[in-house]
Amino acid sequence: MALLASLLVLAAAPATAATPKAATPKAAAPKAAAPKAATCSWTGSWATAPTSTPPTVVTVFEKQTIRQTVHLSSGGGAVRIRLSNEFGDQPLVIGEARVARPAGSDGQRIDPRTDHRVTFGGRTSVTVPAGAPLLSDPVALPVPAGGDLVVSLYLPRRTPGSTLHAFSFQHNFVAAGNATASAAIRPTATMDAWYFLTGVSVASKERRAASVIALGDSITDGANTTPNADHRWPDLLARTFRDHAGLRRLGVLNAGISGNRLLHDPNPPAGSDAESYAAFFGQSALRRFDRDVAAQPDARYLVVLLGVNDLGHPGTTAPASEKVSAADIIEGHRQLIARAHDRGLKVYGATITPFKDDTFGFYNPENEAARQTVNRWIRTSGAYDAVIDFDAALRDPRHPDRLLARYDSGDHLHPNDAGTSAMAAAVPLRLFR
């Protein structure tokens, strides 16, 4: 989805490239026994979808630590992290990685009693090949459902921030030197992005544990919700699951990307402002499905909310030649359904929410007619295993082509915190029982 200029500034702000003497790490916490594969399974607890960076945005780390906070949807007796260099054109060197539970809510401090070094094939330092992801070894750190995890990565060499999720709506920090084990850091930069970190899974003894993946755009990503509050609708759905004993086994993974389209990769018109940010919109959902959905740990359910950017981007942040019809969008949905079913997933279709008078120039009568056609197909075709009617949950009953005012963040397209809460409440829990 087209993004507010203020968000673009936050995401594109480069980290300060400092090269001071590295700090001396604290002693590692005693190593606990890793869980045995035969006694537990790995379930996704947190995820984000990676993208590349625009050519004009150069963020470089060198002899610095990135301390990043993620909100876990489900808990377990151990964790493992997934790093990504999938958009890098050179190897990514991780000098040290550590995980811990936070101390306080500012994201800068950790509880040293929970601090654990992360290894990769037994190694404390690792090189991630260009274009590849990397899974860590299990770390015997118990984590609660609904808690936060702090992941600290030390980057000893000059490292372009080539693989990231640009709109985290979560403050993360950069510190000089190797501060991975420091109980508190002195930030040299604050970022509203996640770099190189794309997943956390937890070890669970629950036989019915499973992951729910939310595949979407900025409305799923959390645009215009309160930063650091975890008010994205998938976060709030996970909170609802935790309130129901039969659903606490489920992790919820957010595979939303602001600006994402179902059918097209970013393609900003030459000379337009979109050249400075469109790469953050990520590969099309059809292209990224295998990585962001099928490859998720213990994936069982998929919720799809996509299509508004396919309607709104052509002529704004994409060439007018990429204009699509309702039939084109429906065929894209059919492809997602078929691929999800091939992998044994239950897949639920979410209706496209209203956007009349949006501030991005998406709305016109033709696009509204296409939205209605797509929504009618989602509701009535039976192609999806079930329907989640976000349109009905958010629209103004008197003006159904508009967001209800109390759910409008102000741009008439993205819901506010109350709107994302209404979305989570609109998800039928029976679909996951």
Can you list the positions of beta strands (E) in 145-298?
148-155, 159-160, 164-165, 172-176, 187-191, 194-195, 197-204, 210-216, 250-256
pLDDT category, 56, cuts 50, 70, 90?
A: confident
Spatial separation of the C-alpha atoms in residues 351 and 30, rounded to whole Å:
50
Spatial separation of the C-alpha atoms in residues 361 and 356, rounded to whole Å:
9
Express each pLDDT in 273-287 by its tens digit. Answer: 999 999 999 999 999
Task: Let me know: does 304 contact 208? Beta carbons within 8 Å.
Answer: no
Helix (H) or strand (E) holding 339: helix 326-342
Same domain, 231 and 181: no
Same domain, 336 and 393: yes
Spatial separation of the C-alpha atoms in residues 287 and 327, rounded to whole Å:
19
Same domain, 110 and 177: yes
Express each pLDDT in 169-224 by its tens digit. Answer: 999 999 999 999 999 999 999 999 999 999 999 998 888 899 999 999 999 999 99
DSSP 8-state assignment for residue 16: P
User: Tokens 């595949």 appear where?
Assistant: 215
Same domain, 184 and 210: no
In percent, the amount of the chain with pLDDT more than 70 equals: 91
CATH number at residue 213: 3.40.50.1110
Task: Let me know: does 128 contact 92? Beta carbons within 8 Å.
Answer: yes
Query: Given a cut of 90, is residue 143 above it in pLDDT?
Result: yes
Same domain, 326 and 356: yes
Same domain, 127 and 234: no
Q: Pick from 200, 221, 256: which residue ends a domain?
A: 200
Give the amino acid at 149. Answer: L
Express each pLDDT in 61-96 by its tens digit. Answer: 999 999 999 999 999 999 999 999 999 999 999 999
Same domain, 134 and 218: no
Same domain, 228 and 212: yes
pLDDT score, position 205: 83
Same domain, 86 and 185: yes
pLDDT category, 265, cuts 50, 70, 90?
A: very high
Same domain, 288 and 383: yes
DSSP 8-state assignment for residue 127: E
pLDDT category, 36, cuts 50, 70, 90?
A: low
For the chain, the first-to-last Cα distance in angstroms comes to 32
The three-class DSSP label of residue 146 is coil
Q: Pick from 167, 200, 233: which residue ends a domain?
A: 200
φ, ψ at 367 (rounded to 5°): -65, -35
Spatial separation of the C-alpha atoms in residues 416 and 422, rounded to whole Å:
10
pLDDT score, position 155: 98
Domain span at residue 161? Answer: 5-200
User: Tokens 């992801």 appear where?
Assistant: 133
Number of domains in the chain: 2
Count of other CB atoms within 10 angstroms of residue 26: 14
Same domain, 219 and 180: no
Q: Which residues contact 428 (CB under 8 A, 6 or more apart)?
A: 386, 388
Q: Pick from 169, 200, 231: which residue ends a domain?
A: 200
Same domain, 194 and 272: no
Please provide the DSSP assignment of 391-430 as one string.
Answer: HHHHEETTEEEEE-GGGB-SSSSSB-HHHHHHHHHTS-GG
Q: Where are the alpha helices (DSSP H) in 83-223?
A: 218-221
